[in-house]
Amino acid sequence: MVTVIIRGHEFEIRSGMTLLSSLVKLDILPETVLATRNGEMITEDEILRDGERVELIEVISGG
Amino acid sequence: MRQHKLALCKHHFLEWIPAQTERFIKKYEMFTRYQKILVAVSGGKDSLSLWDILIKLGYQVDGLYIGLGIGDEGGYSDLSRQMCENFSRERGQKLHIIDIKRKYGETLPQIAQRTRRGKNKACSVCGLTKRHVMNQVSKNFNYDVLVTGHNLDDEAAVLFGNTLHWAGDFMIRQAPVLPATPGFTRKAKPLCRFYEKEMAAYAILSGIEYIYEECPYSIGSTSIYYKQQLNRLEHNNPGEKLRFYLHFLKAKESGLFVLPDEISQDLHECSNCGQPTSADGICSFCRMFDQIEGMI
């Protein structure tokens, strides 16, 4: 499983999918987040492997 | 970047953003390297990235931070100020700091609570206050241009709202550059064609420390709702946000709206602060404080 973290909330998702598919599965618009793995930014076509932790950074702000 | 059909590595992305910014500055004739520029910074990713880019491009640019007093001690405003101070200190840049409470006696939430304008709408008071202070500082220190970090998502969301409400008078004024008029400094938005996601990526990849926490008053705001709706369109049709904004600019240029020189506004000096106003007597900003004094 892959752990996806957004604003402190953790979600478990099946491994082997791309980041893009994982976000869609979690009902998160890819346009609204950036993803990092081990502190490095990753692109939407990266495959997420078992045991990985991916942190999402929300990019949309108000004002 | 699906909207550009472009994929860049970190190194080239960090070159591409400043190069594109320079292209937009020239395309919209925003300013030159001979002019004095004031960038309004909030501690967020967009404004600090813009400051960083303009420094890298060799422009004469100083920062302006407006302390609104949002949150408790160590809260939102304190954190955002810290980000701006750290940024300016690390890069040896000048930062003007205007603290609203120190200058006007009350924090922005306190002003909002006491005034008719601010009742349940702190953002309205915030916008009015920031516009007033930004113009005042740029005039007092003789800056030629005032720049803000509005990105494409900001611009598209404003346009979306104005289109839904057919707010033609606001649409006429929405542009990458607002020329100087008597009493008002020239304004420019060099990031107006970058996606919000691109700016966040630039900030993170450049190692710019910015405030990630959202302003508590923006939670549930209409602008965020509009951004979400536009991102849904973007997801199904990459490039939609950019086309929406660029086609609007093109339509405006080709005469869809009244030409700017046909707009006549009867402006005069506010009898209290001296800034231009269309209202009789004092301007909306000074009237806000008049109301407060009247209630004490």
User: Is the C-alpha dihedral spanning B28, B33, B34, B38 positive or negative?
Assistant: positive
Q: Are strands B95-99 and B60-67 parallel, antiparallel or unpaired?
A: parallel
Contact B241, B87 (CB under 8 A): no
Question: Cβ contacts (< 8 Å) between A62 and chain B: which residues?
Answer: 214-215, 218-219, 221, 223-224
Tens place of pLDDT per residue across chain A (63 aa):
999 999 999 999 999 999 999 999 999 999 999 999 999 999 999 999 999 999 999 999 876
The answer to whether the CB atoms of A62 and B205 lie below 8 A apart is no
Specify whether B242 is located in the same domain as B287: no
Specify whether B280 is located in the same domain as B158: no
* Distance in angstroms (rounded) separating the CA atoms of residues B200 and B208: 10
The answer to whether the CB atoms of A63 and B201 lie below 8 A apart is no
Sheet holding A9-13, edge to edge: A9-13, A2-6, A53-58, A33-37, A40-42
Residue B2 falls inside a structural domain? no
CATH classification of the domain holding A34 = 3.10.20.30
Among B10, B218, B235, beta carbon nearest to A61: B218
pLDDT, tens digit, for every residue of B42-100?
Answer: 999 999 999 999 999 999 999 999 999 999 888 999 999 999 999 999 999 999 999 99
For chain B, residues with pLDDT lower than 50 are 294-296
Specify whether B190 is located in the same domain as B113: yes
pLDDT, tens digit, for every residue of B158-182?
Answer: 999 999 999 988 999 999 999 999 9
Predicted local confidence at residue B288, as pLDDT: 84
User: How far from chain centre, in Å, is Cα B260?
Assistant: 21
* Distance in angstroms (rounded) separating the CA atoms of residues B12 and B231: 25
Optimal mutation site among B231, B236, B241, interface A, most CBs of chain A within 10 A: B231
Q: Are strands A53-58 and B186-188 parallel, antiparallel or unpaired?
A: unpaired
Contact partners, residue B13, CB within 8 Å, separation at least 6:
B201, B202, B205
Predicted complex: ipTM over 0.90: yes
Whole-prediction pTM: 0.93
**Domain limits for position B55:** 8-259
A&B contacts, CB < 8 Å? 60
Number of domains in chain A: 1
The answer to whether the CB atoms of A59 and B219 lie below 8 A apart is no
* Exposure string for B143-169, b = 16+ CB within 10 A, e = fewer: bbbbbbbbbbbbbbbbbbebeeeeeee
DSSP secondary structure letter of residue B237:
S
Residue A63 falls inside a structural domain? no
Specify whether B16 is located in the same domain as B74: yes
* Distance in angstroms (rounded) separating the CA atoms of residues B214 and B149: 16
Contact B286, B272 (CB under 8 A): yes
Nearest chain A residue (CA) to B231: A31
Specify whether B86 is located in the same domain as B35: yes
Specify whether B175 is located in the same domain as B271: no
Neighbouring C-beta atoms of residue A19, cutoff 10 Å: 22
Number of domains in chain B: 2
Question: Cβ contacts (< 8 Å) between B231 and chain A: which residues?
Answer: 29, 31-32, 60
**Residue B9 touches chain A, beta carbons under 8 Å:** no
